Structure 1
Amino acid sequence: MTKNLFKPFLISFLAVSLFACSESEPERPLGEYEQGILIMNEGAFGANDGEVFHLNTNTDELKSNIFELENGRPFAGLLQDMILEEDRLYLVANTGKVEIVDARDFKSIGSVTENLDVPRSLVANSGKLFISDYGPYESDFSTPNSYIAVVQSLDGGTVSKKIPVSRKPEDMINAGRYILVAGSEEGKVEVIDAQTEEIFKTIDVEGRPMMFFEANGLVYLYSIASEEVIFYSFHLDNFTLRTTNYYPIVNATGKIAISPEGVAYMLTSSGWPDYQDGVAKIALFDSEIDLDWHNGSGFYGISYDPLLREIYLTNSNGFQGNGTVTVLDEQAIERRTYEVGRGPSGFLFR
């Protein structure tokens, strides 16, 4: 999934500016993985061969399996999310663990490997980690015991508490000491107080809430239904809905990329038996819609590079071998293609 993709640019810019303005502190050379693009490859079910690739945007060199390269062991999991928090990079595997690496050199810092079931995403708040987890599957594949796992150290360790939430929690976002959780199956946004580790408030929404993002100074939530998509924004002073906007996008998958100007690119799929995939485009602040911005099959992930203003679109190739990444400009013209790992699904632009 990968979130907060624009923050690394802001952090990098501020860091460079501070170094440039200070004569007393020498500039620290960037680590190998502090610039360029990290590509998240989910891996294949059963093989658990998720990994991260690194694309050097200056030389166009693609380096594969950098977790294994830097740590001398395979990642050994299905990679679900990749979260950057300052110098730590959290690799969330939905096979029951979180690996924590130094974002500069990808060397292991720590992990969370016990008392997780199906982790989906992660935020850091109040010096702690909060991990959304489906919980154990029942025999009918339901998940009545979903939770947010709490770990007391940013460097990992043991789960100290499980906060029960609605079924199938997905994305999360910080709002001061509070955390908003997208409960995808029951249409709820649960607000957790990170200091008390309790649910502070619950907000009911329509559809299946999937992902939070920031645009135009506001926090938004992307939610999907069979015949439409819904974008919510929030009042963060009292955690109430600020705006609700519906768009006639059919068969949205929940995968979305957002430009800094609030242009959304959403993956759609007709599903079985046709499997006709597409990318729909919406300009959120002027409601311009292009339902057929790009079409094809096998689309699996999407992201937006705010520096070069390009769209990165992944293809799983049916998980029959490696996937591919196609780079499109804002007119949907293909610019470059890369062969990457199994099931590419997300990116981190640095």
Structure 2
Amino acid sequence: MFLVFAFACSDSGEEKPLGKYDTGVLIMNEGNFGANDGEVYHYDPATETLTADIFELENSRPFAGLLEDMVLEQDRLYLVANTGKVEIVNPGDFKSIGAVSADLDQPRSLATASGKLFISDYGPYNASYATPDSYIAVVSGLDGGAVSKKIEVSNKPEDLFASGKYVFVAGSEESQIEIIDSEKEEVVKTIEVSGRPVQFFEQKGDLWVYSYDSEHIYFQSFHLDNLTKKEFRELPVAKATGRIALGEDLKIYIITSSGWPEYQDGVAVVSLYDSTLIPAWKSGSGFYGIGYDQARQEIYLTNANGFQGNGTVTVFEKGGTEVGDMEVGRGPSGFLFR
């Protein structure tokens, strides 16, 4: 009799047995405002098995928040809720490791550097529903705890990216990239960019940020050695949103939306390195999140269904042929492919 074990490498290079959630697809369901019923589903494409509410299943308590982001770093999975907390779980079994549950307002994303957590936060709304007191919260430990410092940044910080001791901040409202020295815990440089920067990603070893406005999308890369601008791309994609997925052959899938009252949505496909532009790869209404499974070369497109009940995920081959669909939780908005 032969026994076959699956192993994963940790950040330390150590091999360890794979947990039941170390493979497959994690589906982030944002949840409905007021109900705070955000949760994570797990999907196994090999068996087509969908498991609902795995945080509650493994911890015997509901997640109880609006789920904004899932960040896998340092052998930990950080579940960022814009209702004022971060839950930290073991990615293999989803058991709770710790949390940040105080002194946060509207967290958006997270990065780790110098053994600390850096959490982007809109801060509180003022009487005009503006966010003039946005910040990056610092927690001195990877397993959560108290906020030790709040670093003032431009309004509405979104995605974060750590490179060495530097943490890049996408300042969406004021079109700025702010760079924090994680050791000094202060902003050491600010770079102006076009559009609303919302998402960092790596391509060919370079760090890029994706930005957009009503008529165009923009991609800006950076020199990581001297923290300056490198390459710039501008493409005529109108009505783009902040939802993107990195596909095969350096293609990028972007959700577009006309918004109210038409609610005409689509998926555009662009490339950083040639003139490829498919303005309407898919069209419809209610598109809310998108992801790309590099291993299977499949696109996962979500529909929030107007937040009237559960959302759906439809899976496509990269040529556009539908593979299947599934009902998931409220407001499905993102994926983590393991």
Task: Bin the TM-score by the shorter chain.
Answer: over 0.9
* Residue of 110, 120, 133 corresponding to 2:121: 133
Q: Secondary structure at the match of 1:249?
A: coil
Partner of 1:188: 176
CA distance in 2, matches of 1:340, 1:88: 24
* Residue of 144, 150, 153 corresponding to 2:138: 150
- Measured after TM superposition, the shift of residue 53 of structure 1 is 0.4
| CA offset digits 1:134-188 (Å, max 9, x no partner) | 0000111100000000000100000000000000000011111101100000000
* Residue of 213, 229, 233 corresponding to 1:225: 213
| CA offset digits 1:98-145 (Å, max 9, x no partner) | 000111110111000000000000001110000000000011110000
After the TM superposition, which parts of structure 1 deviate over 6 Å for at least 4 consecutive aligned residues?
A: none
Is 1:338–2:326 an aligned residue pair?
Answer: yes
Is 1:170–2:144 an aligned residue pair?
Answer: no
The code of the aligned residue for 1:79 comes to L
- Measured after TM superposition, the shift of residue 86 of structure 1 is 3.5
Partner of 1:289: 277
Contact 2:223 2:229 in 1 (8 A): yes
Partner of 1:278: 266
CA distance in 2, matches of 1:180, 1:259: 23
| CA offset digits 1:165-214 (Å, max 9, x no partner) | 00000001111110110000000000000111010100011110010000
| CA offset digits 1:244-288 (Å, max 9, x no partner) | 111000000110001253201000001111100000000221121
* Residue of 51, 69, 74 corresponding to 2:39: 51
- Measured after TM superposition, the shift of residue 308 of structure 1 is 0.4
Count of paired positions: 330
Contact 1:298 1:316 in 2 (8 A): yes
Partner of 1:249: 237
Percent same amino acid among aligned pairs? 61
Q: Secondary structure at the match of 2:105?
A: coil
Query: How well do the aligned residues superpose, as a CA RMSD in angstroms?
Result: 1.3
- 1:5-44 equivalences under 5 Å are 28-44=16-32
Q: Secondary structure at the match of 1:261?
A: helix
Partner of 1:102: 90
The code of the aligned residue for 2:200 comes to F
Contact 1:215 1:260 in 2 (8 A): no
With CA pairs under 8 Å and 6+ residues apart, which has the higher RCO, 1 or 2? 1
Contact 1:216 1:261 in 2 (8 A): no
Q: Which moved more, 1:103-112 or 1:327-336?
A: 327-336
- Measured after TM superposition, the shift of residue 28 of structure 1 is 3.7
- Measured after TM superposition, the shift of residue 59 of structure 1 is 1.2
- Measured after TM superposition, the shift of residue 14 of structure 1 is 5.8
Partner of 1:23: none
CA distance in 1, matches of 2:76, 2:214: 37
CA distance in 1, matches of 2:263, 2:16: 49
| CA offset digits 1:282-321 (Å, max 9, x no partner) | 0221121010111010000001111001111000000000
Contact 2:39 2:63 in 1 (8 A): yes
Q: Secondary structure at the match of 2:218?
A: strand
